[in-house]
A = this chain, B = another copy of it.
Amino acid sequence: MHSTRRKRVIIAGMGFGGINAAQELAGSGLDVVLLDRNNYHLFQPLLYQVATAGLEQESIAYPIRALIRNWYNLSYQMGEITGLDPASSRVLTDDGELVYDYLILAGGSVTNFFGNQGIARHAFDLKKLTDAERLRNSILTNFEQASREVDLQKRKALLSFVVVGGGPTGVEFAGALSELIRFVFRNDYPTLRLEDSRVLLLEAASSLLGAMPKRLGSYAEKRLQQMGVEVRCNCLVADATETEVHLANGEIIAARTLFWSAGVKACPLAAMLLGEKGPGGRVPVKSDLTLNQYDNVYVVGDMACFQQDNRILPMMAPVAIQQGRHAARSIISREQGGTAEPFHYLDKGSMATIGRSSAVATAFGLSLYGFLAWLTWLFLHLYYLIGFRNRIVVLLNWSWYYWFHERQVRLITAVSQTTKEPGDQ
């Protein structure tokens, strides 16, 4: 028996923030418990490639238990958090309650449909692994149905894809989908006319990639148009049905697929904390990333509302990574009698890929576009992807696509469930 109990840190959520905090806390002498409803870390930036048949879903996920084998004093518990009680330092889960000395909340974000029920019901989004599989299944099924559909209008609707939101996710998905149709489906469906297929990218603001320098947004727009994507800026979506997308200007687009990447908000975990919230339901934090009322509760990543240089930091992976590490170091420092340093985000830049050999990127104030930006994007994503085997599989798929214009994961997988179904009999 130990004479003193080791102090316990709970990390809720194994996204970029959580996993970096965990790595930092490994071997620190603290007892660290990782909570997540999924038994894997998901590399969300490549979800769009799973949705467009470029990558198998397994290659962008990594089992948490495989990660923590190499890290000391960490344990993983699969489960759902049902409540937070910071006053008594407890986390409630579907499997009982856990007491902590420190808590790091890193639950990430969910899609924000801004209360529009029609859009929420009919739109696809990309936050979870199943979202990507579902979207891929739907795209492929639409093409299969179109190949048998004799009515031209219905066929055109099946082949029309409306992408809403001109940020990195929208740009990347629209580009990858357009290439899937032009390079792969062109050969797969020789009886379909490519001219009957449309990919529209709709953005409410006046240009794409609003967070980047204007000329990168213009470059992306031009490249996407060359690839056959209809880009419309200053365009607002008002509603959706199963077969139509309604624009705010009254126009109706016949399309069976609506993809929504026009907004995110803090995950439901944020609402379990009392107190006022920032934009998108994010939790306001102090300069050291702790809550105002509870200095043993850290909030990092998309959940946290952190202001720096008069702007709220965006909901993106690099912020989560740096905040996760900072929270962990801060806890270690306090345990060693030190003080909590304020967090400062170092903006190394951002990037988006548009298509084969084409991307845009900013790095330390420099703007890159074209082939060099694409290579940079490629290597950085391979670098941040966890698992050596995953890197090889992803690199293999990318090379395959680059040389043969072929994406092999175009499978329509059936309904699968985590629980037993009755036998087929």
Interface residues of A (CB under 8 A from B): 38-40, 56-59, 61-63, 65-66, 69, 75, 77-79, 95, 110-113, 115, 117, 119-125, 127-130, 133-134, 137-138, 140-141, 144, 147-148, 187-189, 191, 242, 260, 387, 389-390, 392-393, 396-397, 400, 406, 408-425
Contact = CB atoms under 8 A, between A and B. Distances in A.
Contact of A122 (B38, B138, B420): B420
A422 B111 contact: no
Contacts of A424: 110-111, 120, 125, 127
Contacts of A187: 69
Nearest to A189: B65
9 contacts: A56-B56, A57-B413, A78-B144, A115-B425, A120-B422, A130-B413, A137-B416, A137-B417, A413-B418
Contacts of A423: 111, 113, 119-121, 123, 125, 260
Given A66-B188, A416-B415, A425 B128 contact: no
B387 A408 contact: yes
B66 A415 contact: no
Nearest to A57: B413
A412 B137 contact: no
Nearest to A135: B420
A95 to B, nearest CB: 5
A122 to B, nearest CB: 7
A165 B355 CA distance: 50
A38 B141 CA distance: 10
A75 to B, nearest CB: 8
Given A110-B424, A110-B425, A148-B77, A411 B61 contact: yes
A40 B411 contact: yes
B414 A389 contact: no
Contacts of A420: 121-122, 124, 134, 138, 242
Given A128-B414, A389-B408, A396-B396, 16 more contacts: A39-B144, A39-B410, A39-B412, A40-B411, A56-B56, A63-B408, A63-B411, A65-B189, A66-B188, A66-B410, A69-B187, A130-B416, A134-B417, A138-B419, A393-B393, A416-B416
A165 to B, nearest CB: 14
A36 to B, nearest CB: 11
